[in-house]
Amino acid sequence: MTEVLGVAGLVKRFAGGVEALAGLDFGVRAGECFGLLGPNGAGKSTALKAILGLIEPDAGRIRLLGLDIPAQARQARARAGVVPQADALDPDFTVAENLLVFGRYFGLARSVLDARLEPLLEFAGLAHKRDAKIDALSGGMRRRLTLARALVNDPDVLFLDEPTTGLDPQARHLIWERLRQLLARGKTIVLTTHFMEEAERLCNRVAIIDHGRRIALDAPASLVVHEIEPQVVEVNGEGVAHWARAEAPALAARVELVGETAFLYCAGPAAAAAAAAAAGRTASLRVLQRPANLEDVFLKLTGRELRD
Amino acid sequence: MRRYAPPAFSLRFVPVYRRNLLVWRKLALASVVGNVADPLITLVAFGYGLGRLLEVVEGVPYIVFLAAGSMCMSTTMSASFEALYSAFSRMHVQRTWDSLLNAPLELDDVVIAEWLWAATKAAFSGVAIIAVVWALGISREATLLLALPVVALTGLCFGAIGLCVTAVARGYDFFTFYFTLVVTPMIFLSGVYYPMSALPDWLAAVAGVLPLAAAVELARPLVLGRLPDPLLAPLLTLLAYTGGALYLAMVLTRRRFVA
């Protein structure tokens, strides 16, 4: 399978000796949706900047679309689309002007842009807003316009930095649906996120990175199978801390207490049901039994302490 | 990193320049009032008002003396406002530059576009004052046409200097220091309102190396129908400031973005 993006041994140190990337490795295959997951400060945004040639790494190798980065970053960016974390739309222009002006930065001719404008507005669901000012758009509309703007050069690969952060659930689902359309058209997508649900729904494979290093890489479902017990019992309520220390260890393979919730990781449905039943006998506790998910893997691998 | 490399020119800057031009066309009226009406009022009010009291300065009516300073000052202010407030808005507040850098554009393209755009807006202001000087009959000398390249160069010079300030700015407040501590004293030292011969010797020596003083030294004889003499020294001063400031702006902006 052809590789759209290859990252090997990437190191980036910032002033003060902070090592944002400490030997990051991963590869992205053509046509897949690849997720870069990690807590705040893990190095996701730094990695994206390095891949686009916006910062120069201290060591390592990047190849994007067969081009060496940063040496050939300009040519690579001509064939890539970027949806940054902040929309950074041009507030002085209308919706349509934002697309046209951005297209010119790629050296696209007016005739090409005119032909692409309507389909892009349709795709973004903004055909009725083409002459609206940016101020008049909702957060979801702005995000869709930013996505359309990233497609103006008909890119082979699309980078999205936390594409649905700050959106309401309706707007988020619409973005996901659009991204699936792009995947169906054969685009390659690389996205960073800390919404595990987003990664599970969209990504063929995810890399979990922390402290500038890759700590896991696989399909979300495989990570859940291989990295963690299949069943989780969540217990919370008054006295949960005491209960978790006194009784929970005998009920589960692994127990974690986070704030006011105890997580009991169980080897199978039977064990989980037994643990849930045992917890249910203490009247003050609320109990939820569920299958393990990517978020459990993420928290197990990156730890539960707060990252600011 | 090629942080200390000279600015890399490429025609990729054109769409970025064009973007600023398109925005300006939408807001042109307010811009014209700010950049042209203000210095025009200064020229007319001071020129005619103060001119009545002073009558003759360096052998010419005060308004004729003031005309050259006025066109250079107007150009300087216009270039500085664009390179400071407007460029900073695009760079830091609206994050327009970040979007540009995600396209196949380099930081050098962006800085060069902003520089040429600031110079263009500055030249508009300078040309407007030159037109008024001609229309009011303050000067109808043929050499007035040669003031056009002088204001163009002045715009390039202060656009580049302004971008150095923008590259190290953390917020709009920082620009107050530049205007209050650099631009305003420079205007008073550069022979805009009164001849530099009125300054004490030591201060005249300081003033002699200022880029605005060099611009006024070039423009004033042209208003009076003469060619600048000396020509080379002030011309080289302006060129040196322009080249030096553009290079510094490039290095400082790279440091800001790449670090």
Q: pLDDT tens-digit profile of A98-154?
A: 999 999 999 999 999 999 999 999 999 999 999 999 999 999 999 999 999 999 999
- Look over chain A and give the mean of its residue pLDDT values, rounded to a whole number: 93
User: Could you tell me which residues of chain A have a Cβ less than 8 Å from any Cβ in chain B?
Assistant: 14-15, 52, 54-56, 74-75, 77-78, 82, 84, 86, 88-93, 97, 101-102, 104-107, 149-150, 153
Instruction: Indicate whether A300 pLDDT > 80.
Output: yes
pLDDT of residue B3: 85
pLDDT of residue B28: 80
Instruction: Indicate whether B32 pLDDT > 80.
Output: no
Q: Which residue of B has its CA nearest to A93?
A: B23
Amino acid of residue B34: G
User: Which of A52, A82, A104 comes nearest B18 by C-beta?
Assistant: A104
Mean pLDDT check: name the lowest of A174-178, B36-40, B71-75: B36-40
* Global confidence as pTM: 0.91
Q: Do A107 and B15 touch (CB under 8 A)?
A: yes
Mean pLDDT confidence for A241-266: 88
- ipTM of the complex, rounded to two decimals: 0.89
Q: Which residue of A has its CA nearest to B14?
A: A105
pLDDT of residue A291: 95
Mean pLDDT confidence for B252-256: 94
User: Which of A77, A92, A153 comes nearest B26 by C-beta?
Assistant: A92
Q: State the nearest Cα–Cα gap between A102 and chain B, in angstroms.
A: 8
> pLDDT, tens digit, for every residue of A41-66?
889 999 999 999 999 999 999 999 99
pLDDT of residue A259: 82
Confidence of residue B26 (pLDDT cuts 50, 70, 90): confident
| Alpha carbons A120 and B242: distance in angstroms, whole number | 43
Confidence of residue B123 (pLDDT cuts 50, 70, 90): very high
- Look over chain B and give the mean of its residue pLDDT values, rounded to a whole number: 93
Q: DSSP alpha helices (H): ranges in A230-293?
A: 240-246, 269-280
Instruction: Indicate whether B1 pLDDT > 60.
Output: no
Residues A229-291, CATH architecture: 2-Layer Sandwich (3.30)
The alpha carbon of A238 is separated from its chain's Cα centroid by a whole number of angstroms, namely 35
| Residue whose tokens read 């229309």 | B135
> pLDDT, tens digit, for every residue of A70-87?
999 999 999 999 999 888
Q: Do A105 and B96 touch (CB under 8 A)?
A: no
Using alpha carbons, select from A41, A102, A196 the residue that is nearest to residue B99. A102
Q: Which residue of B has its CA nearest to A152?
A: B103
pLDDT of residue A307: 65
Q: Do B94 and A78 touch (CB under 8 A)?
A: no
Q: Across the strands, what pairs with B56?
A: B61
Give the E-state strand segments of A30-156 in sequence order.
33-37, 59-64, 67-69, 80-83
Best residue in B11, B19, B102, B117 for a mutation probing chain A (most A CBs within 10 Å): B102
| Alpha carbons A60 and A22: distance in angstroms, whole number | 10
**Around B216, how many Cα atoms within 13 Å sit in the side-chain half-sphere?**
27
Q: Where are the domains of chain B?
A: 26-258
User: Which of A15, A104, A153 comes nearest B259 by C-beta?
Assistant: A15
Q: Which residue of A has its CA nearest to B107?
A: A54
Q: Do A92 and B101 touch (CB under 8 A)?
A: no
Q: State the nearest Cα–Cα gap between B180 and chain A, in angstroms.
A: 30
> pLDDT, tens digit, for every residue of B191-237?
999 999 999 999 999 999 999 999 999 999 999 999 999 999 999 99
A contacts of B103 (beta carbons < 8 Å): 77, 102, 105-106, 153
Confidence of residue B51 (pLDDT cuts 50, 70, 90): confident
Mean pLDDT confidence for A159-181: 93
Best residue in B2, B11, B99, B105 for a mutation probing chain A (most A CBs within 10 Å): B99
Say which CATH class A3-79+155-219 falls into.
alpha beta
Q: Where are the domains of chain A?
A: 3-79+155-219, 95-152, 229-291
pLDDT of residue B46: 83
Using alpha carbons, select from B99, B221, B83 the residue that is nearest to residue B162. B83
Q: Across the strands, what pairs with A191?
A: A35, A160
Q: State the nearest Cα–Cα gap between A14 and chain B, in angstroms.
A: 7
Higher pLDDT, B51 or B239: B239
pLDDT of residue B259: 60
Confidence of residue A2 (pLDDT cuts 50, 70, 90): confident
Residue A180 burial class via C-beta count within 10 angstroms: exposed 0-12, middle 13-18, buried 19 and up = middle
Instruction: Indicate whether B36 pLDDT > 90.
Output: no
